[in-house]
Amino acid sequence: QIAVFDTAFHMSIPQESHRYAVPKELYTQQGVRKYGFHGTSYGFVLDKVTRHAFEGHNSSSLILTHLGSGSSMCCVRNGKCLDTTMGLTPLEGLVMGTRSGDIDPGIVGYLSRVLKKTPAQVDAMLNKESGLLALSGISADMREIQAAALRGDDDAVFARKVFVERVRKYLGAYLIKLRGECEALIFTGGIGENDAQIRADVCAGLEG
């Protein structure tokens, strides 16, 4: 039997980037920290890019995106991951098909206190009823949202804008982490590979 951990790729993330500002015992005793996901995908892509674009040299500074039903990003320098968007769970970070991505944690308390939602109901809402599905009111599938946007559906257009805005927010943060030195921005995943307009919108203004 062989075990491959999807989080292993991200274990090089420094403590100042993987720890949350919560009581220390949650970190030391419960392991509450950023772990990240999509690691097997990132490892594969990094190997391919390093071999084919950088002649096998692992000295490059890269930003990798995995954009699909589940979406994340990471930044890499010298073959090591410096940060990634997903956290303790895959819920953190980018807007996804049915996941909210980053939200104000106070919303969880609000849903429980004011709307009387149980923890299980809140978890289901944020993981299965949010994201592109909630924003568009149409689908969690970006292909269907794109088709609706081309027909002039305002909610579909808005959902795509929010998706791009979140990617660009992290793109800016990761450019800072890489000290402005990014040799390649790589798109993978169903959306990243097949939606040329999303790629163009993410990269708008970076031409210079």
Structure tokens at 146: 């794109």
Q: Can you name the residues that pair with 184 across neighbouring β-strands?
A: 62
Separation CA 169–CA 191 (nearest Å): 18
> In sequence order, what DSSP letters do the residues of 128-149 get, joined into one string?
HS-HHHHHHSS-S-HHHHHHHH
Q: Which two tokens stand for residue 194?
A: 């097949």
Q: Which residues, 6 or more positions from 152, have their beta carbon under 8 angstroms from its beta carbon? A: none
The residues with which 77 forms a beta bridge, in sequence order, are 61, 80
141 is an active site residue? no
Cα 84 from Cα 25, distance rounded (Å): 23
* Residue among 6, 102, 123, 153 flagged as catalytic: 6
Contact by Cβ (8 Å): 111, 81 = no
Strands (E), 14-121: 61-66, 72-77, 80-84
Catalytic residues: 6
